[in-house]
Structure 1
Amino acid sequence: MDKKYVIGIDYGSDSCRGVIVDPMSGKELASHVFYYPRWKQGLYCNPAKAQFRQHPLDYVEGLKTVIKETVKVVGPEVAQNIVGLSVDTTGSTPCAVNKEGTPLALLPEFSENPHAMFILWKDHTATKEASEINHYAKTWGGIDYTQYIGSVYSSEWFWAKILKTLREDQAVKEAAYSWVEHCDWIPALLTGVKDADQIKRSRCAAGHKAMWHQAYNGLPSEAFFAGIDPLLAGLRGRLFEDTYTADEVAGVIAPEWAEALGLPQDVKVGCGAFDCHMGAVGGNIRPNALVKVMGTSTCDILIENMDVMKDTLVEGICGQVDGSVIRGMLGMEAGQSAFGDVYAWYKRLLAWPLQTVEPEKREEIESKLLVELEKAANEVNPLESGVMAIDWMNGRRTPYANQNLKGAILGIHLGTEAPHIYRALIEATAYGARAIVERFRACGVAINEVIAIGGVAKKSALNMQIVANVLGMPINVCESEQAVALGASIFASVVGGIYGNVEEAQRHMASPTEKVYLPQPEMVEVYNKLYEKYLEVGTFIEGSM
């Protein structure tokens, strides 16, 4: 019998990554990374206004490129035995679509309209709308529809972004039949769905970002949405009631896509999910193990047996959803709105004078900045430097989402140097990670170990050691360079019929641990004291805004 193979596609904030995997051994046979060309140019974005939009053509081009390039590496013998393909994306990243399910930005009249594009997870233009949703949910006299999403609705999520767009753009409002998450659109595109009503919606996306829950038999009521703003009236009926876990089949690849990508015509395409949830599976998530997906932001994922959690509601997180990670388990999400983005911001700040330098020379210098900063920051004594930072440069996701908050750096003086500040920024993101752990523990959720995946986890030893010291727990860094795409391939192996469930597939395919960072007792004590100062300063900043 011919061996079977699977594809995992991971859409991140800056790029699309793809892997072809042998599901019996878990070996990654080929991988490719595609950087979004329009996004790289900064098109359709305005960081000063926290506006971050992505053109669907970046996604389509990425899909074609990563699959074609990986297929080219493995050759036709492997390619013709690919049986499953699954996709994860960032989220909440919704887009307005017409009745045919086509993103409006793919229509000529909307091709350059940012409101017709996918609204990236870190777009915070809808803070006012999120506040209105939160206020109405607590005061309207009916069900509090935020109870399963940490009791706080965020501007990073589905409904806030939709309402903001409907208020700002009449043309998009009139043309939009429905709205879809990025993770729902790609499987629909690959399987040839031509009707927005037929798009299968992710349990993960709907539960964590759109207030879908089994207790409501679907989405919140029409009366709830119409009460927030009449602009939302009627939209609920053009969305969805049913949702699908990521181990379910979205459909079979459409013939035109099979031909274009060099794949068999019977490849099964899985229902989508968010990157952090599939990544957690690639990182070998298990009960009581917190998986930190550490990239531009962090997503922190836990799973637990339903009979252990019972009726426990964890306030201040990004939701708890049955089946959002693994079917039959409660998936819990938290995270930080900026992690790697904090360091990238600091690099841009330091590199500002280089604008007058020729591009090639500038790029060479910038590429060395963080490397040299890390070397120097490793020698900094945090007690002697006196520099403290608050990591809310892009607002706060968890605990208790508040995208109006701003970051801070304090304790600087004329002797403060760049490495002092850089280390303080790393420490601040580690303190933010600890605040998440303590929020879970305060609600009785046990966290006994930490698993780290993502670019920062692989590249920054100083960062991982500081996180281990601040958390007072070992940090297990996964071996795979593409653990999130590997997670998608695990779901593809279930969708393709190779394994009967995700847990079985994990045992064969999940990434092993590459390195363990152990907490250093003397630094744990230091950081326990500094963490209290972080909380004190954060409370002051939040109270003064």
Structure 2
Amino acid sequence: MSSTNDSCALGLDFGSDSVRAVVVRVADGEELSSAVANYPRWAEGKFCDAARQQFRQHPSDYLEAMGSAVREAIAGLEAHPDIIGIGVDTTGSSPMPVTADGTALALKDGFSSDPDAMCILWKDHTSVAEAQEINDLCHSGQFPDYTKYVGGIYSSEWYWAKILNVGRRNPTVFRAAANWVELCDWIPAVLAGVTDASKIVRSRCAAGHKALWHPEFGGLPSREWLQALDPLLGNLTTPLFGETKTSDQVAGNLSSDWAGRFGLKAGIPIAVGAFDCHMGAVGAGIEPYSLVRAMGTSTCDILVAPPEEVSDTLVSGICGQVPGSVLPDLVGFEAGQSSFGDVFAWFERLLQWGRNGRGKAGSLLPELEKEAAELPPGGYGERALDWLNGRRTPDADQTVKSIIAGLHLGSTAPSIYRALIEATAYGSRAIVERFEEQGVKVNSIVAIGGIARKSDFISQVCADVMNRKVDVALSDQACARGAAIFAATAAGAYEDIYKAKDAMLSPIEKSFEPNPEMHKLYNAIYEDYKRVGAFAGDLAKS
């Protein structure tokens, strides 16, 4: 094993709006330097159409922002670091078409301004119809039920639905694509200088939770299944990939090209990529049956359990249960909400319509939250759903929409804002209840991410609604820290990921104990939440 005394690992966290680069000391997990770089084209709203729920990101955004963030993070150190490993986490499912040499199609002439040639971001819901067709075929009895290990429902947020949607609408892009790669697999391949798409290492995390890969099926769904779904999928080179790897393994080594761009030495091991929330759970020190909640634009909730204890238990309506997707030798469970921070950002945009920069500078949310916190549970009778971007868990359904009910002439912006905050907490409670109703216990809850650290009010409401203590991790960069932990392991600094996790995890900064009296009040409102949700479901089907 390498000496950990002065060694550092570089964690790269590709979020929805920006990339974070964090340099972490391997010996104890101290974050020595960090930097954030926004995606320039995304910030301008290019290639997106929110009304159609189309959200695309240009791969150049990732490459440019990554270079800037890493250089700034390195420059922020007092001495040049001994970087021994690099780890990468990204959003997901965020697949993109690539050419035979592994180049993102949007980086090729003729495709640079075609949204279908770009990364299809996790929250893109243009493939709702295709997701339903996948569900219908999986449940038809003609083939194995490939949705068995993804909660029994395939989502429009995921890999195959997005590929099929592009194939039907844009045959030019579909024909030009030699393969389709998740962002968390593409970035390590780029850094390693991989020039053959078939050599790109595929992560167990992305493949198992989004692409229907599972050992029981021998890997991905069969060619016959793809052709039955749509004959055009028979034109894909199948399988698109076979073997998958856990993120404590090496995906490649830093190329001379990217070493020069970063100002680092060539040959540094790069860990296999994974989704942000999965690595964030490791950064927060996840243990069996603790639920780690990444609270950002959406939420992603991660739980791990020993396979011998899970046995044949299948949790319906979640985003998958996959061996090794979070930590080797444990089954990783994923759930989440399609919008969380996005709910609050939407409300702020609504209130600021037409201002065009006039009036007070800065966000309205802190003042709204201050006033909302003075109101009783339920505000002035307003009720809301958190489904502004559809519902992820329980029971994925991107056709359902949010509802704000109980409005009257006495309703105020803070009372509506409080209803939205409570809605996100009720959505969180529904996830915990689904796990426990179906035989997977939740012993503790750990929150990571900016919302959890910045808003004590939101964290307290969640604790009160769920009637559970909520611990909040100290690190602002739990996901990047998790990536660095995997990087240290892949580089051989620790014997295994468990020892690396224990040495480098983020400590808990603060805890929120549930208030029993508030919980009683929220219980009644939770019943309203479920009734409004049932109505929204019926409305979506009408």
- TM-score category (smaller protein): over 0.9
Instruction: Give yes or no for contact 1:222–1:234 (8 Å, CA) kept in 2.
Output: no
Equivalent residue pairs, number: 537
Instruction: Give yes or no for contact 2:92–2:182 (8 Å, CA) kept in 1.
Output: yes
1:215-234 correspondence to structure 2 within 5 Å: 215-234=216-235
Instruction: Give yes or no for contact 1:185–1:199 (8 Å, CA) kept in 2.
Output: yes
Q: Are positions 1:288 and 2:293 aligned together?
A: no
Shift of 1:430: 0.4
Please give the per-residue CA displacement for 1:459-488, whole angstroms capped at 9, x wherever unaligned: 111110100001100110010011110111
Instruction: Give yes or no for contact 2:24–2:484 (8 Å, CA) kept in 1.
Output: yes
Q: What is the RMSD computed on CA atoms of the aligned residues?
A: 1.1
Mapped partners of 1:543, 1:49: distance in 2? 21
Q: Secondary structure at the match of 1:31?
A: strand
Choose from 347, 364, 369 the match for 1:369: 364
Q: Output the amino acid matched with 1:6.
A: A
Partner of residue 22, structure 2: 19
Partner of residue 444, structure 1: 439
Instruction: Give yes or no for contact 1:177–1:238 (8 Å, CA) kept in 2.
Output: no
Q: Output the amino acid matched with 1:443.
A: Q
Partner of residue 31, structure 2: 28
Partner of residue 74, structure 1: 77
Q: Where do 5+ consecutive residues of structure 1 fail to align?
A: none
Q: Are positions 1:423 and 2:421 aligned together?
A: no
Please give the per-residue CA displacement for 1:175-212, whole angstroms capped at 9, x wherever unaligned: 01110000000000011100000000010000000000
1:139-288 correspondence to structure 2 within 5 Å: 139-235=140-236, 237=238, 239-288=240-289
Q: Are positions 1:110 and 2:111 aligned together?
A: yes
Shift of 1:136: 0.9
Shift of 1:496: 1.2
Shift of 1:383: 4.3
Instruction: Give yes or no for contact 2:188–2:251 (8 Å, CA) kept in 1.
Output: yes
Partner of residue 537, structure 2: 542
- TM-score, normalisation: structure 1: 0.97
Q: Secondary structure at the match of 1:68?
A: helix
Partner of residue 135, structure 2: 134
Mapped partners of 2:33, 2:355: distance in 1? 37
Partner of residue 479, structure 2: 484
Choose from 485, 510, 517 the match for 1:515: 510
Instruction: Give yes or no for contact 2:94–2:122 (8 Å, CA) kept in 1.
Output: yes
Instruction: Give yes or no for contact 2:74–2:80 (8 Å, CA) kept in 1.
Output: no
Partner of residue 88, structure 1: 89
Instruction: Give yes or no for contact 2:377–2:518 (8 Å, CA) kept in 1.
Output: no
Mapped partners of 1:543, 1:238: distance in 2? 38
Mapped partners of 1:54, 1:83: distance in 2? 30
Partner of residue 409, structure 1: 404
Mapped partners of 1:3, 1:197: distance in 2? 36
Partner of residue 348, structure 1: 349
Please give the per-residue CA displacement for 1:497-541, whole angstroms capped at 9, x wherever unaligned: 111111101111110010101111110111111111111221122
Instruction: Among all aligned residue pairs of Structure 1 and Structure 2, give the percentage whose two residues are the same amino acid.
Output: 51
Instruction: Give yes or no for contact 2:379–2:418 (8 Å, CA) kept in 1.
Output: no
Shift of 1:384: 5.4
Q: Output the amino acid matched with 1:494.
A: T
Please give the per-residue CA displacement for 1:437-480, whole angstroms capped at 9, x wherever unaligned: 11101111110211000111011111101000011001100100
Q: Output the amino acid matched with 2:202.
A: R
Mapped partners of 1:330, 1:529: distance in 2? 35
Instruction: Give yes or no for contact 1:337–1:392 (8 Å, CA) kept in 2.
Output: yes
Instruction: Give yes or no for contact 2:379–2:415 (8 Å, CA) kept in 1.
Output: no
Choose from 61, 71, 81 the match for 2:64: 61
Instruction: Give yes or no for contact 1:222–1:236 (8 Å, CA) kept in 2.
Output: no
Q: 1:239 to 1:529 in 2, by over 3 A?
A: same
- TM-score, normalisation: structure 2: 0.98
Q: Please, which moves more after superposition, 401-410 or 139-148?
A: 139-148
Instruction: Give yes or no for contact 1:159–1:210 (8 Å, CA) kept in 2.
Output: yes
Partner of residue 46, structure 1: 49
4+ runs deviating over 2 angstroms? none
Q: Please, which moves more after superposition, 87-96 or 255-264?
A: 255-264
Q: Secondary structure at the match of 1:148?
A: coil
Mapped partners of 1:144, 1:117: distance in 2? 30
Q: Are positions 1:318 and 2:313 aligned together?
A: no
Instruction: Give yes or no for contact 1:56–1:105 (8 Å, CA) kept in 2.
Output: yes
Shift of 1:349: 0.2
Please give the per-residue CA displacement for 1:36-87, whole angstroms capped at 9, x wherever unaligned: 1100100000000000000000100121111111111125532xx2110010
Mapped partners of 1:44, 1:383: distance in 2? 39
Instruction: Give yes or no for contact 1:57–1:106 (8 Å, CA) kept in 2.
Output: yes
Q: Secondary structure at the match of 2:452?
A: helix
Q: Please, which moves more after superposition, 66-75 or 417-426?
A: 66-75
Shift of 1:393: 0.7
Mapped partners of 1:313, 1:426: distance in 2? 30
Q: Secondary structure at the match of 1:391?
A: coil
Q: Secondary structure at the match of 1:385?
A: coil
Q: Are positions 1:505 and 2:500 aligned together?
A: yes
Shift of 1:234: 3.8
Q: Output the amino acid matched with 1:373.
A: L
Mapped partners of 2:247, 2:435: distance in 1? 25
Choose from 445, 454, 458 the match for 1:463: 458
| Richer in helix (by share) | 1
